[in-house]
Amino acid sequence: MMAFDPADPAGPEFRAAVTRLLAEFVAVQRDLLAETGQRLDLVWQQARHFTSGGKRLRPAFCYWGYAAVAGQPADPAGVLTVAASLDLLHVSALVHDDIIDRSDTRRGAPSAHRYFAKVHTQRGWAGKPNRFGHGAAILLGDILLAGSVAMAERAKLSGDRLRRARPYLDAARTEVAAGQYLDLLYGVTGDAADPVVETTLIMEFKTSKYTVARPVQIGAALGLAGDDVLARLGRFGSHLGHAFQMRDDLLGLFGDPAVTGKPAGDDLREGKRTALIAHGLRLAGPAGVARLHALLGNAELDQAGVDEARDLLYRSGAVEAVERDIESEAVRALRLLGDLELAPEGEQALTALAHQAVERTA
């Protein structure tokens, strides 16, 4: 039996197991399309790059969701396969998100569309590099999304377990795209009557559901959990997912680029209406709000502009408000978890993952 450490639920052994399954799956997918020769080599190179690392939080929430209701499996391969498929969904969303946000980097390297455009230029191909880069990255994201479905369906698990989990798998794939659209829509329609309410809805669909709520429900469903347990785990995941996203918002502006892998201030340049910005628009006063609007969405914003936004958000109390919200959401999540009668290892692991999700620096 391969058992993972609930005190380090997304530790090196767990991450290595997920990475191995993803590498094997990408290799199989490449073999299935062998008749294309080397024409897809750039795609497979990027697929391997994006699936070779990461925090593996989504697979971890899935695996330990299973362990929380059924204990760690004697043979974890089937559960781990479904869990790993969630990182294919994740990197698919990242590739598409980087196109939408015009991001230059991801995990300290060029984003997929920038990579494809660079290769186009280096090889002197016909047409416009950025057009090729965008098109190739969209298709890479589509291949990764299709792969997430195929990988989960091929897991060696009983039909009952997969049938139980399938509605949550289907929901995760749809909800993350819906969340991306809500984020995109809010960026162009202007201020809502209550920016905090609007950003909370976006967080729920874009992050909470597919990062925590659905993964933990998928794992628990594979473990044949009852409807009440699944619903309560969903609420746990919703609150924790909000805290996760708000920590992300803070790191996006105040984090160390060497650790986060992305330049600080990108959310500002992209005009993202994050929870941090929502609180700033609520608290900064007329002059501060006007200045924040001027900084938000300025693609040419320099370091001085980023520093001005940081100072404005600190002085308005927006940063403090987000930190309070993170703590509040995390506490609510852990209380919900504590009210469930779960297997000790699973509860320990989910508690550790909750702390990891909100106390991270990247």
pLDDT digits (tens, 9 = 90+) for 2-36: 789 999 999 999 999 999 999 999 999 999 999 99
Q: What is the mean pLDDT of residues 140-160?
A: 96
* Rg (alpha carbons) of the chain, rounded to whole number: 21
List the structure tokens of 40: 């897809």
Task: Report how many domains make up the chain.
Answer: 1
Inter-residue contact 66 to 225 (CB < 8 Å) = no
Say which residue the tokens 């980097």 belong to.
Answer: 105
Q: How far apart are CA 250 and CA 338, in angstroms?
A: 27
Greater model confidence, 249 or 270: 249
pLDDT digits (tens, 9 = 90+) for 161-170: 999 999 999 9
Q: What pLDDT, on the 0 to 100 scale, is given for residue 194? A: 78
Q: What pLDDT, on the 0 to 100 scale, is given for residue 126? A: 97
pLDDT digits (tens, 9 = 90+) for 293-304: 999 989 889 999
DSSP structure class, residue 342: -
Q: Which domain holds residue 26?
A: 12-358
Residue 7 lies in a domain: no
DSSP structure class, residue 99: H
Q: How far apart are CA 211 and CA 209, in angstroms?
A: 6
Residue 210, SS3?
A: helix
Tell me the Ramachandran region of residue 160: left when phi exceeds 0, alpha when psi lies from -120 to 50, beta otherwise.
Answer: alpha
Q: What pLDDT, on the 0 to 100 scale, is given for residue 26? A: 97
Q: Is the pLDDT of residue 256 over 60?
A: yes
CATH number, domain containing residue 231: 1.10.600.10
Residue 45 lies in a domain: yes
Q: Is the pLDDT of residue 261 over 80?
A: no
- Backbone CA torsion sign across 305, 310, 311, 316: positive
Q: Is the pLDDT of residue 1 over 60?
A: no
Percent above pLDDT 70 for the chain = 99
Q: Is the pLDDT of residue 177 over 70?
A: yes
Element (H, E) at 105: strand 105-106
Q: What is the mean pLDDT of residues 118-146?
A: 97
Q: What is the mean pLDDT of residues 294-320?
A: 93
Residue 5 lies in a domain: no
Greater model confidence, 58 or 252: 58
Q: Is the pLDDT of residue 355 over 60?
A: yes
* Structure confidence at residue 260 as a pLDDT band (50, 70, 90): confident
Q: Of 22-31, 64-73, 271-280, 322-331, where does mean pLDDT reach its minimum? A: 271-280
* Structure confidence at residue 307 as a pLDDT band (50, 70, 90): very high
Residue 3 lies in a domain: no
User: HEC profile for 146-166?
Assistant: HHHHHHHHCCCCCHHHHHHHH
Inter-residue contact 10 to 57 (CB < 8 Å) = yes
Q: How far apart are CA 10 and CA 250, in angstroms?
A: 23
Inter-residue contact 47 to 143 (CB < 8 Å) = yes
| Mean pLDDT, rounded, of the chain | 94
Residue 175 lies in a domain: yes
Residue 110, SS3?
A: strand
What is the torsion angle, in degrees rounded to the nearest 10, for the CA atoms of residue 31, residue 34, residue 37 and residue 39?
-70
Say which residue the tokens 């139980």 belong to.
Answer: 164
* Structure confidence at residue 46 as a pLDDT band (50, 70, 90): very high
Say which residue the tokens 């009210």 belong to.
Answer: 339
Question: How many of the other CB atoms lie within 10 Å of CB of 212?
Answer: 32
pLDDT digits (tens, 9 = 90+) for 191-237: 667 777 888 899 999 999 999 999 999 999 999 999 999 999 999 99
Residue 188 lies in a domain: yes
Q: What pLDDT, on the 0 to 100 scale, is given for residue 192? A: 65
What is the torsion angle, in degrees rounded to the nearest 10, for the CA atoms of residue 317, residue 208, residue 239 and residue 17?
-120
| Cα separation values, 82 from 41, 74, 154, 155, 218, Å | 26, 16, 8, 6, 9
Residue 66 lies in a domain: yes
Percent above pLDDT 90 for the chain = 81
Q: What pLDDT, on the 0 to 100 scale, is given for residue 196? A: 79
| Cα separation values, 337 from 235, 236, 291, Å | 9, 6, 42
Helix 12-32 × helix 57-70 angle, to 10°: 110
Residue 19 lies in a domain: yes
Strand pairing report for 105-106 and 109-110: antiparallel
Q: What is the mean pLDDT of residues 25-48?
A: 96
